[in-house]
């Protein structure tokens, strides 16, 4: 027979209300009573029935996290920052990847909603604006991270980067380094981050008076394979002075392909990345990159979720975070 909260209360010599307060982490229980309750729980092997608790409280203490690629270190760091803020408040995270597929994302949004998570944190692949508005309007809070479709800018909570400005700064840096031809490796234009970064790059190139014939653009899918395919395209003509990959996975693909062709980064071609490349400190050349600081981004998202769920804050919460250019040098 399953051990119940009444069994724990009887063993500890306290009321069921006291046991409940201890289980919920309430500070309003005398330590000697809380200690007796914990001892009784250990002795009896009591386990909370999460399903029954959620029916009673209408909360599951879970946060659904839906991102394009959970294996990408960028999204892993966002998730870690999110967890660091929310775990002390008793929340657990449930992860899912959309693989940059709008239809898969729509299905996962419905699954997570039906699972009755308390909040959804979404880096959207695009194409589900109305569904996201409907979910949020139905009482399940949605917080956007990393990507902000324009139609949702005034509708949902969000924490995003200033992609346009950071991409502009990246191109401007290489113009100052003397680059006069560019190979740009973009993500899918359905992703607002890719679109904003593309506009930022083009603004800097226009300001630098780089003629269109000196610019080659490849539109990929934010994957390592896209970075490799882009470099193969660039090598069909004259190699650009600078290759700029507009996310870290594509940058790593570009590095692999350039190395495969015995091209020396920093000498034969300059390389820039929007986002840190994890292996960069181990490489024999320097990489200039936009430091997205995803851990801090995730912490800010966690603060928004905490304000929404724990503090019951009303009104929209909007944050646009600024990034800096950095250089990883060989160790």
Which tens digit of pLDDT belongs to each residue from 208-267? 999 999 999 999 999 999 999 999 999 999 999 999 999 999 999 999 999 999 999 999
Instruction: Read off the pLDDT band of 331 (50, 70, 90).
Output: low
With a cut of 50, say whether residue 51 has pLDDT above it: no
Domain count, the chain: 3
Indicate whether 44 and 81 sit together in one domain: no
Instruction: Retrieve residue 299's tokens.
Output: 């912490």
Phi first, then psi: give them for residue 305, nearest 5 degrees: -60, -45
Indicate whether 248 and 233 sit together in one domain: yes
Distances (CA, A) of 24 to 8, 17, 331: 15, 11, 48
pLDDT tens profile 102-122: 999 999 999 998 888 999 999
Indicate whether 72 and 169 sit together in one domain: no
Indicate whether 86 and 132 sit together in one domain: yes
For residue 168, give the CATH number of its domain: 3.40.50.2300
Indicate whether 124 and 202 sit together in one domain: no
Phi first, then psi: give them for residue 158, nearest 5 degrees: -155, 155
Q: How far apart are CA 183 and CA 286, in angstroms?
A: 18
Domain that includes residue 15, residue range: 5-48
Instruction: Retrieve residue 294's tokens.
Output: 């995803």
Instruction: Retrieve residue 59's tokens.
Output: 């909360």
Indicate whether 173 and 286 sit together in one domain: yes
Q: How far apart are CA 176 and CA 181, in angstroms?
A: 12
Indicate whether 206 and 243 sit together in one domain: yes
Indicate whether 218 and 124 sit together in one domain: no
Domain assignment present for 201 = yes
Q: How far apart are CA 295 and CA 162, in angstroms?
A: 16
Domain assignment present for 206 = yes
Q: Which residues pair with 257 in a beta bridge?
A: none
Domain assignment present for 328 = no
Q: DSSP secondary structure string, 96-114?
A: EE-TT-HHHHHHHHHHHHH
pLDDT tens profile 156-165: 999 999 999 9
Claim: this prediction has a pTM higher than 0.85: no
Indicate whether 207 and 314 sit together in one domain: no
Indicate whether 313 and 299 sit together in one domain: yes
Instruction: Read off the pLDDT band of 55 (50, 70, 90).
Output: very low
Indicate whether 178 and 70 sit together in one domain: no
Give the gyration radius of the chain's Cα atoms: 25
């Amino acid at each position: 027979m399953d051990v119940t909260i009444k069994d724990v209360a009887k063993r500890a010599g306290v009321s069921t209300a006291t046991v409940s307060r201890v289980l919920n982490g309430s500070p309003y229980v005398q330590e000697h009573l809380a200690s007796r309750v914990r001892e009784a729980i250990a002795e009896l092997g009591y386990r909370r029935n999460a399903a029954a608790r959620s029916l009673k409280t209408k909360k599951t203490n879970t946060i659904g996290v839906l991102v394009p690629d959970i294996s990408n270190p960028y999204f892993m760091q966002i998730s870690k920052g999110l967890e660091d803020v929310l775990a002390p408040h008793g929340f657990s995270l449930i992860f899912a990847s959309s693989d940059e597929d709008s239809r898969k994302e729509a299905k996962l949004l419905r699954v997570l909603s039906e699972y009755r998570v308390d909040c959804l944190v979404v880096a959207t692949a695009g194409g589900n604006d109305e569904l996201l508005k409907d979910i949020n309007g139905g009482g399940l809070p949605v917080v956007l991270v990393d990507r902000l479709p324009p139609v949702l800018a005034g509708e949902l909570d969000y924490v995003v980067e200033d992609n346009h400005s950071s991409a502009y700064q990246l191109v401007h840096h290489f113009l100052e380094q003397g680059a006069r031809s560019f190979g740009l490796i973009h993500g899918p234009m359905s992703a607002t981050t890719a679109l904003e970064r593309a506009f930022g790059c083009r603004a800097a190139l226009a300001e630098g008076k780089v003629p269109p014939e000196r610019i080659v653009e490849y539109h990929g899918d934010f994957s390592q394979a896209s970075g490799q395919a882009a470099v193969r395209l660039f090598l069909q003509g004259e190699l650009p002075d600078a290759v700029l990959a507009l996310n870290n996975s594509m940058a790593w693909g570009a590095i692999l392909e350039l190395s495969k062709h015995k091209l020396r980064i920093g000498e034969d071609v300059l390389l820039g990345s929007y986002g840190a490349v994890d292996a960069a400190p181990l490489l024999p050349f320097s990489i200039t990159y936009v430091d997205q600081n995803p851990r801090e981004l995730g912490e800010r998202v966690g603060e928004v979720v905490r304000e929404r769920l724990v503090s019951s804050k009303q009104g929209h919460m909007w944050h646009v975070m600024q990034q800096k250019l950095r250089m990883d040098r060989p160790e």
